[in-house]
Amino acid sequence: MFRCVYALPALGLLASWERRRFGPRPRRERGLGLAAGVFFIADLVFWHHAIANVGAGLGTVVANLQVVLVAFGAWALLGERPSNRVLIAVPVLLTGVLLISGVLEAGAYGSHPARGTVFGILTTIAYAGFLLVLRQTNADPRRPAGPLFDATISAAVIGIVAGAAYGAVDLAPSWPAHGWLLLLALTSQVVGWLLISISLPRLPAALTSVLLLVQPVAAVVLAAILLGEAPSGLQIGGVIVILAGVVYATSRRREPARVAA
């Protein structure tokens, strides 16, 4: 919740600048932006529970299945049929999830690896919903801050209400925890998401597929170095299977070069 709250001033200033320069956004797009925030706060809540149960590295890998799930969501909602590569990759990805869940072994890493994997899948579903809705509201590529501001303010409000309802939010700031939360808000929620909104739609599919793997790979490596997380051999195998499936699903077969007559 604080990740969203602390990001609002910066995003609000950028959205205000976009409004002055390009005019107000349609009401429908504003409504979709607020709806995207519902999915986003659900994504964050599920992801935090996945991290608590299976670790930061593995929880992030499972959460990145949205790469394929978005394709099926676009098929159901927008009529965009996924490629054959995506369809083939699904059983591969599910195999990787099964390995990470720890149900096939007794020494899997995490306090509750199976539960963490379930939360990771829920994270994927919520994250896919967020991306699909945000795609619909981000119709004008000249102003990415406006849709992101709408989604962030909606997520912040829902986070405050829901967190207060079951006593999970302490509104009294403490140091240094809130210094880290402020840094998280400015780096991930503001700079990170603005860069994603601006850059990825303009990149080739092959390059995009590689960049999408930076987060889960880095999370596994940094979790091992900084947090001492040591996944089992089968779980590491699951990570490799999922990453390979994502690469296969999001890459395109190169067309043969045409020879001039």
94-110 pLDDT, tens per residue?
Answer: 888 888 888 888 888 98
Looking at the domain assignment, is residue 168 inside a domain?
yes
Nearest CA among 218, 238, 243, 241 for reference residue 117: 238
Integer-rounded Cα Rg, in Å, for the chain is 19
Distance CA 103, CA 40 (A): 29
Looking at the domain assignment, is residue 43 inside a domain?
yes
Based on the structure, what is the number of domains in the chain? Answer: 1
Looking at the domain assignment, is residue 113 inside a domain?
yes
Distance CA 167, CA 253 (A): 51
Distance CA 138, CA 176 (A): 35
Looking at the domain assignment, is residue 256 inside a domain?
no
Window from 140-144, 164-168, 210-214, 242-246 with minimum mean pLDDT: 210-214
Residue with tokens 């987060």: 215
Residue with tokens 């099964």: 98
Confidence (pTM): 0.83
Dig out the tokens for 165 from the structure: 């309802």
Task: Using a pLDDT cut of 70, give the percent of the chain over it.
Answer: 90
Reply yes or no on whether the pLDDT at 257 is more than 60: no
Looking at the domain assignment, is residue 260 inside a domain?
no
Looking at the domain assignment, is residue 258 inside a domain?
no
The pLDDT tens digits for 201-231 are 566 555 555 566 678 888 888 898 999 999 9
Q: Whole domain around residue 146: which residue ranges?
A: 2-250
Looking at the domain assignment, is residue 255 inside a domain?
no
The pLDDT tens digits for 15-33 are 999 999 999 988 888 999 9
